[in-house]
């Protein structure tokens, strides 16, 4: 002890053993002048013991957030700069803790109050008006919000990731400990939460509702899936059949819809039991002839893997229970997407957003908050100044809008809100016109503010030219920063480099015919065809599913013609990436990937590689022409169909 005492502060942990007397601890402390630590306050940055007051335990997060906002650099940021700081730094501070613990609702509200005060520009000496409620700001930008996080919902999305791990990662230490303690004879979804459980378990336990809401079954053999009660139809964040129980009993499983001998859907039964829209979705689901086990996947991602981003989007979306494909919702998604992609400076973009949601401090809004006594327009003295009057309908502004060709039609339409005016320009004018209009609105607002608070009234006729000049200056600077796009030269099919044979494959979709087709061509090093396959499916598969089926057919054909080694090429980078992954594939085509691996094991060696569409032209043409063939399944040995002869011949020249 004497030797090591020079290294720095020493802390002594004394464990009570039976051979020590009760005074041994005190004697050692007195002799060495060291404190005794009964327990650590934190472990890996997290509290090792959560007491009765959860708010006090996690109060340090609030202090860290408040400290980050008090820097002089942070106080000089614009509202756009504060938005970036909030999303990149401030809202990330509690994330590490929220991965393991459910923060008290009171603390989340206090953190959100600090964040929104900072965004609106609160300081120690001045308070700012909040022109938009916080729940609206937390909506995604594609729905008219700012994309800030609702911390309570984000906390649930983070904790649900631990639930997902306890569902699938059954070899992890986390799973083994929690299973032995809380669900020894079941799964996490069937577990109970005793009153004496740790706060970490209680936090994870309450997040199960996120998984229940967003997960669904991927059909394998269908034995584990109840038709009328489980989520299994491939619809994001949905999946329970809308069709009421009819031909099949209440407890029927999905396996009753699958033909035992072929492993395919019983098309007649599916179309008899379900409404047409659901029957089409079911028949488009790919099945494996191996009849693998059913698997729980995440419905919010194409990969089938849980992601915090998609889970939070599910929890935060206001119209989640509505129809995501309705025309009104899609219109506003496109509207806000175009608003946030206008090629203008960020502050102009932010201003245009505030115009569209009526979040500017007009006199009418100030009067409603009893800040001023009258809302009469100080320019025309005829009407109250709301946002429409201040920027559009004021008689003194009409010469600007009626004489300019950009806004002349919008004035004639007699719109009652600026949201409609912007929508008119989005529909009938170019992106450049909308960018110029955004600058003009901003200059009109600046002119109004200078006249009211600085007694300086600029000439209205100068606004169009000034807006055009500012826009061109911004574009000139922005274009200089953009890199020159790289031109990729077109290439034709290349002969195999590793083996003697190469199999190319591709898929094609025909939505109008509700049909999917795949094409496979196996060629040798000279480019001569060894075998050609064309196959049609009377259902509309997803793009990635169809590409996976094409690869499976390519390996199957190579095995059927007796090849021992083959190089398989396709133009789907997604499928190629999935084939090279060692972990379980949760995507809708995951069982097809396993089929491909199993087929590949029957050959000596198979190599999968990706090519561009220009190098895969033969199979692309083959798949596209499948709809005109006489049969659903055709194979040509050492030959190709007549419509492919010219395409094959054109690729002989490079060799």
Q: What is the mean pLDDT of the chain?
A: 89
The DSSP code sequence of 104-148 is -HHHHHHHHHHHHHHHHT--SS------S-HHHHTS-GGGTS---
User: Which is nearest to 518 in space by CA: 585, 594, 593, 616?
Assistant: 616
Mean pLDDT on 111-131: 89
pLDDT tier at 628, thresholds 50, 70, 90: confident
User: Which is nearest to 506 in space by CA: 614, 409, 433?
Assistant: 614
Q: Is the alpha carbon torsion for 596, 599, 605, 611 positive or negative? A: negative
CATH architecture label of 501-650:
2-Layer Sandwich (3.30)
Helix (H, G, I), strand (E, B) or coil at 265: strand
pLDDT tens digits along 381-398: 999 999 999 999 999 999
User: Which is nearest to 143 in space by CA: 320, 391, 349?
Assistant: 320
Helix (H, G, I), strand (E, B) or coil at 535: strand
Give residues with Cβ within 8 angstroms of 371, minimum separation 6: 129
Domain edges within the chain: 54-149, 333-479, 501-650
What angle (nearest 5°) sits at the alpha carbon of residue 456, between those of residues 406 and 392?
Answer: 30
pLDDT tens digits along 364-377: 999 999 999 999 99
Q: Where are the beta strands (DSSP E) in 438-543?
A: 501-510, 515-524, 529-537
Mean pLDDT on 128-132: 92
Helix (H, G, I), strand (E, B) or coil at 457: coil
For 12, 34, 40, the CA distances from 8, given in Å and listed in that order, are: 13, 12, 19
Distance CA 22, CA 238 (A): 63
**Strand pairing report for 215-218 and 46-47:** unpaired
User: Which is nearest to 352 in space by CA: 643, 72, 80, 151?
Assistant: 80
Partners of 298 in beta bridges:
215
Distance CA 573, CA 570 (A): 8
pTM: 0.85
Top pLDDT among 333 and 655 is at: 333
User: Exposed, middle or buried: residue 373 (CB in 10 Å: 0-12, 13-18, 19+)?
Assistant: exposed
pLDDT tens digits along 33-59: 877 766 566 767 787 778 788 899 899
Residue 487 predicted with pLDDT over 80: no
pLDDT of residue 322: 44
User: Which is nearest to 344 in space by CA: 458, 256, 473, 222?
Assistant: 473
Residue whose tokens read 């981003």 = 309
H-type helices in 460-533, by residue range? 463-481
Residue 247: CB atoms within 10 A of its CB come to: 10
Mean pLDDT on 554-564: 95
């Amino acid at each position: 002890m004497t030797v090591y005492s020079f290294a720095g502060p020493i802390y002594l942990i004394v464990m009570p053993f039976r051979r020590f007397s009760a005074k041994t601890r005190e004697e050692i402390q007195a002799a060495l002048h060291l404190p005794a630590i009964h327990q650590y306050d934190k472990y890996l940055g997290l509290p090792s013991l959560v007491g009765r007051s959860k708010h006090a335990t996690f109060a340090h997060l609030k202090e860290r957030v408040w400290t980050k906002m008090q820097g002089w650099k942070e106080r000089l940021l614009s509202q756009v700069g504060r938005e970036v700081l909030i999303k990149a730094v401030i809202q990330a501070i509690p994330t590490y803790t929220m991965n393991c613990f459910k923060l008290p609702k009171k603390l989340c509200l206090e953190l959100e109050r600090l964040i929104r005060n900072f965004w609106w520009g609160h300081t120690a000496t001045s308070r700012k008006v909040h022109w938009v409620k916080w729940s609206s700001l937390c909506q995604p930008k594609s729905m008219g919000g700012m994309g800030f996080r609702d911390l309570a919902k984000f906390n649930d999305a983070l904790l649900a990731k631990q639930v997902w791990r306890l569902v699938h990662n059954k070899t992890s230490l986390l799973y083994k400990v929690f299973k032995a303690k809380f669900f020894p004879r079941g799964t996490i979804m069937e577990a109970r939460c005793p009153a004496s459980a740790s706060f970490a378990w209680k936090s994870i336990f309450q997040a199960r509702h996120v998984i229940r809401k967003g997960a669904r079954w991927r059909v394998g053999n269908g034995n584990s899936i109840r038709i009328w009660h489980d989520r299994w139809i491939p619809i994001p964040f949905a999946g329970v059949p809308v069709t009421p129980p009819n031909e099949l009993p209440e407890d029927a499983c999905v396996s009753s819809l699958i033909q035992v001998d072929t492993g395919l859907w019983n098309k007649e039964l599916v179309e008899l039991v379900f409404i047409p829209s659901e029957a089409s979705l079911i028949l488009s689901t790919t099945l494996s002839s191996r009849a693998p086990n059913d698997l729980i996947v995440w419905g919010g991602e194409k990969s089938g893997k849980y992601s915090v981003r998609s889970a939070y989007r599910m929890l935060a979306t206001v119209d989640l229970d509505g129809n995501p494909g309705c025309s009104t919702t899609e219109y506003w998604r496109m509207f806000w997407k175009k608003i946030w992609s206008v090629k203008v400076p960020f502050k102009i973009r932010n201003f245009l957003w505030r115009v569209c949601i009526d979040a500017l401090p007009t006199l009418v809004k100030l009067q409603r908050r009893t800040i001023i006594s009258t809302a009469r327009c100080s320019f025309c003295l005829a009407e109250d100044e709301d946002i429409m009057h201040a920027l559009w309908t004021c008689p003194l502004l009409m010469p600007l809008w009626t004489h300019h060709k950009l806004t002349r039609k919008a004035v004639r339409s007699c719109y009652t809100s600026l949201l409609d005016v912007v929508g008119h320009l989005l529909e009938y004018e170019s992106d450049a016109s909308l960018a110029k209009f955004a600058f003009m609105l901003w200059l009109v607002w600046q002119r109004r503010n200078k006249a009211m608070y600085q007694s300086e009234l600029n000439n209205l006729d100068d606004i169009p030219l000034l807006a055009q000049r500012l826009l061109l200056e911004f574009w000139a600077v922005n274009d200089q920063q953009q890199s020159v796009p790289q031109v990729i030269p077109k290439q034709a099919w290349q002969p195999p480099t590793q083996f003697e044979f190469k199999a190319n494959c591709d898929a094609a979709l025909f939505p109008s015919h509700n049909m999917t087709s795949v094409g496979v061509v196996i060629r040798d090093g000279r480019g001569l065809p060894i075998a050609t396959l064309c196959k049609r499916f009377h259902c509309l598969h997803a793009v990635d599913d169809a590409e996976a089926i094409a690869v499976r057919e390519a390996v199957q054909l190579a095995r059927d013609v007796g090849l021992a080694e083959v190089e398989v090429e396709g133009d789907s980078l997604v499928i190629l990436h999935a084939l090279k992954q060692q972990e379980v594939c949760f995507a809708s085509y995951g069982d097809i990937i396993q089929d491909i691996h199993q087929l590949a094991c029957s050959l000596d060696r198979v190599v999968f590689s990706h090519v561009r569409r220009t190098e895969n032209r033969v199979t692309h043409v083959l798949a596209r022409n499948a709809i005109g063939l006489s049969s659903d399944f055709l194979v040509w040995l050492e030959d190709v169909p007549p419509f492919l002869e010219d395409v094959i011949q054109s690729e002989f020249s490079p060799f």
